A = this chain, B = another copy of it.
Amino acid sequence: MEKVNVLGAGMTKFDKYLNRSLSFLGQEALSNALADSGIDISKIEAAYVGNAMAGAILGQESIRGQVVLSGTELEGLPVYNVENACASGSTAFHLAWMSIASGMYDVVLALGVEKLFHKDKMKTFNAFRGSTNVEALHSFPGKGNNDAQSMFMDVYAQEAREHMNKYGTTIETIAQVAVKNSFNGSLNPYAQYQQAKSLGEVMNSRMISDPIRLLMCSPIGDGAAAIILCSEKIAAQYSTKSIYVASSVVLSGKTKTSDDKDPAGTRTALKAYELAGIGANEVGVVEVHDGAAPGEIWAYEHLGLCSKGEGGNLLLSGETQIDGKIPVNPSGGLIAKGHPVGATGIAQIVELTWQMRGEARQRQIKNKPKVGLAYNNGGYLNGESAAISINILKS
């Protein structure tokens, strides 16, 4: 297979953009990635566009990518519209990667874009239903059946309680994820929230789904992120700061059994490490899916950054802070940078790219990391994430 290079990375600030269209946001991210790459737009041969919620919120289904790219020079190209709930962006990236790896194309765009804010808030809240099995909503934990707003927070809450019961993790430890990530977000001009929060502020914020409180949750947000991928031949012509995709894996959850020892996150991580030919100890920077704070702790365990049950202790050790041994979510993660669903997975890769090039300014990790990993997951089905995607970059 062809070696696949990250030629350009760009994103919008994640924010509330009631008066900007999906295409405005998507094209801003595209422009930023193009400027970063130095390549002309006419060289792009195909576009993979991830979006999860425009159908439910805006009524824009089916040809989301064509609409977003309408009026640009990319009109007429193959446009692939990819959905995979909160992992839509990384799944679009994965298919874009495959298209270069296969030798099909030399230069492609992976774009993630989302507008979650809507004047009618119920449109946003109810949109999350569509990322579950709508014929089996009764199987949702907590009060999900009646309140789409917090369905996914109910899932995080249930799994947090299980982790607390089984391993003695405390809610204060979980809250420290939000403390760390809000601090990182305070250093990131692209983050939706740029204010560091104290443990007290997190623990005293409004209860959303016991034990999950408001400041432990990723917010509603709008935004877009774009990556331009290219073959080795093209990279040699354009890039002096080459970063390439060492492995790209997408899997789905299986129906969870009570003695489940094989969570989808772990399966995906093992495969991603195997294909990249590395172990967890070689990773120098990680972006994970902290849809709510406990998600980051499970991610440590799924990724093998620590053993099962030790996620809370790894966090408390400080090693996942920006100045730690294995920084996680230096961007601020979903909690602080924000979570415009379809954009999230690609924004994670934008952050890895900047960190690995040494371009992350105030939040730059010392000694530019040589290996970066992005862990994106989404949807909920039969007790697990419906989709998991892990991408590993190397420089």
The reply to whether B61 and A131 form a contact with Cβ atoms under 8 Å apart is yes
Bound-complex Cα distance A45 to B262 (A):
18
The reply to whether A52 and B62 form a contact with Cβ atoms under 8 Å apart is yes
The reply to whether A387 and B66 form a contact with Cβ atoms under 8 Å apart is yes
Bound-complex Cα distance A70 to B381 (A):
8
The reply to whether A55 and B61 form a contact with Cβ atoms under 8 Å apart is yes
A82: chain B residues within 8 A (beta carbon): 80-83
The reply to whether A70 and B382 form a contact with Cβ atoms under 8 Å apart is yes
Q: How far is the CB of A286 from chain B (nearest CB, A)?
A: 22
Q: How far is the CB of A24 from chain B (nearest CB, A)?
A: 10
Q: Which of A173-181, A251-259, A296-304, A360-368 forms part of the interface with chain B? A: A251-259
Given A252-B75, A254-B75, A264-B76, the answer on whether A133 and B381 have CB atoms closer than 8 Å is no
Chain B: which residue is nearest A264 at the CB level? B76
Within 8 A of B (CB), among A347-395: 378-379, 381-382, 386-387
Given A59-B130, A103-B1, A264-B76, the answer on whether A84 and B84 have CB atoms closer than 8 Å is no
Residue A280 CB within 8 A of the other chain:
no
Question: Which listed residue (B21, B64, B386) contacts A63, Cβ 8 A?
Answer: B386
Residue A161 CB within 8 A of the other chain:
no
Chain B: which residue is nearest A21 at the CB level? B135
A84: chain B residues within 8 A (beta carbon): 62-63, 79-81
The reply to whether B53 and A56 form a contact with Cβ atoms under 8 Å apart is no
Q: How far is the CB of A250 from chain B (nearest CB, A)?
A: 5
Q: How far is the CB of A16 from chain B (nearest CB, A)?
A: 19
Q: How far is the CB of A375 from chain B (nearest CB, A)?
A: 16
Bound-complex Cα distance A99 to B101 (A):
10
Residue A85 CB within 8 A of the other chain:
yes
Within 8 A of B (CB), among A109-126: none
Given A80-B95, A251-B78, A379-B62, the answer on whether A102 and B56 have CB atoms closer than 8 Å is no
The reply to whether A70 and B133 form a contact with Cβ atoms under 8 Å apart is yes
Q: Which 8 residue pairs across A and B have the least CB separation, nearest first?
A: A102-B102, A61-B130, A55-B55, A63-B379, A62-B85, A63-B386, A76-B254, A81-B83
Jot down 26 A-B pairs with beta carbons below 8 A, ordered by A: A1-B104, A52-B62, A55-B130, A59-B129, A59-B134, A60-B134, A61-B83, A62-B131, A62-B386, A63-B84, A63-B85, A63-B131, A63-B133, A63-B378, A66-B381, A66-B386, A70-B381, A76-B254, A76-B264, A78-B251, A81-B83, A95-B95, A98-B98, A98-B99, A101-B102, A102-B102
- Using CB atoms and an 8 Å cutoff, list the residues of chain A in contact with chain B: 1, 21, 23, 52-53, 55-56, 58-64, 66-67, 70-71, 75-85, 88, 91, 95, 98-99, 101-104, 127, 129-135, 249-255, 264, 267, 378-379, 381-382, 386-387
